Amino acid sequence: MPGTADIRILRAEGRPAVPWKNGGGVTREIAARPEDAGTAGFDWRISLAEVAADGPFSEFPGIDRTLTLAEGAGMDLAVGGEHRLLDERFAPRDFPGDVPTGCRLLDGPVVNFNVMYRRAGTRVRTAVVRGELALDVRPEETLLVCALDGPAALAAEPGPATALGPYDAALLTGPATVLLCAQRHTAVVRLAVEAAGG
């Protein structure tokens, strides 16, 4: 794919921890559109959520969610009364963010890679990969790459590779093709927001 990717590096160090309303954990935002949208006005929002206690999740009207367990034994979620066991690390799981959801920790605190997006007008796909692969960055998309449990590197031509440590992320726009070398599990999120009225 022709073109040069715009790569914005988002380091894990220095991300502020924002407490949940119920005190059950904290969230560290990685990226959002629009930037600084807060928890109400985003098209999409990606964060790391540290869950320290059992309790309810916040409800987000019109929002779908994808959770990927990154650390810990996992959770038993009750989504609208239906139990969903999240006990496999690095396996993205989807559920609606506007349905009452309760959380029971299986064996102590967990860290989740958390993707939230507006159901109407936003297309999002989340995968967790390892190894070396080429990522096509399409003109209508934004890609977010986040190293989860080990180092990764991104290389765009021309230019040197950029190293990512655990929980470092990169926000990519194109069109371009970028080479990802993931030594360990790395999340790749494709995000596309439809134009208003389109």
Residue ranges per structural domain of the chain = 6-11+122-193, 18-118
Q: What is the 3-state secondary structure (H, E, C) of the chain?
A: CCCCCEEEEECCCCCCCEECCCCCEEEEEEEEECCCCCCCCCCEEEEEEEECCCEECCCCCCEEEEEEEEECCCEEEEECCEEEEECCCCCCEEEECCCCEEEEECCCCEEEEEEEEECCCEEEEEEEEEEEEEEEECCCCEEEEEECCCCEEEEECCCCEEEECCCCEEEEECCEEEEEEEEEEEEEEEEEECCCCC
Check residues 5 and 113 and name the one with the higher pLDDT: 113
pLDDT for position 9: 95
| pLDDT score at 67 | 97
CATH 2.60.120.10 fits 18-118, yes or no: yes
As a whole number of angstroms, the distance between CA 101 and CA 55 comes to 9
Question: According to the model, what pLDDT value does residue 197 have?
Answer: 45
Question: Above 90 in pLDDT, residue 149?
Answer: yes
At 184-194, the pLDDT tens digits run 999 999 999 88
Residue 196 has pLDDT above 70, yes or no: no
On whether the CB atoms of residues 180 and 186 are closer than 8 A, the answer is: yes
In the structure, what pLDDT confidence band is assigned to residue 70 with cuts at 50, 70 and 90? very high
To the question of domain 6-11+122-193 being in CATH 2.60.120.10, the answer is yes
pLDDT per position as a tens digit, 94-144: 999 999 999 999 999 999 999 999 999 999 999 999 999 999 999 999 999
Dihedral of the alpha carbons of 51, 144, 191, 189, in degrees to the nearest 10: -60
pLDDT at 1 over 50: no
Neighbours of 101 (CB within 10 A): 20
Q: How far apart are CA 140 and CA 176, in angstroms?
A: 12
The structure's pTM equals: 0.93
What pLDDT digit, counting tens, does each position of 74-89 carry? 999 999 999 999 999 9
Same fold? 6-11+122-193, 18-118 = yes
In tens, the pLDDT along 13-58 reads: 989 998 876 677 899 999 999 987 777 789 999 999 999 999 999 8
Q: Report how far residue 38's alpha carbon sits from residue 31's, in angstroms, rounded to the nearest whole number.
A: 11
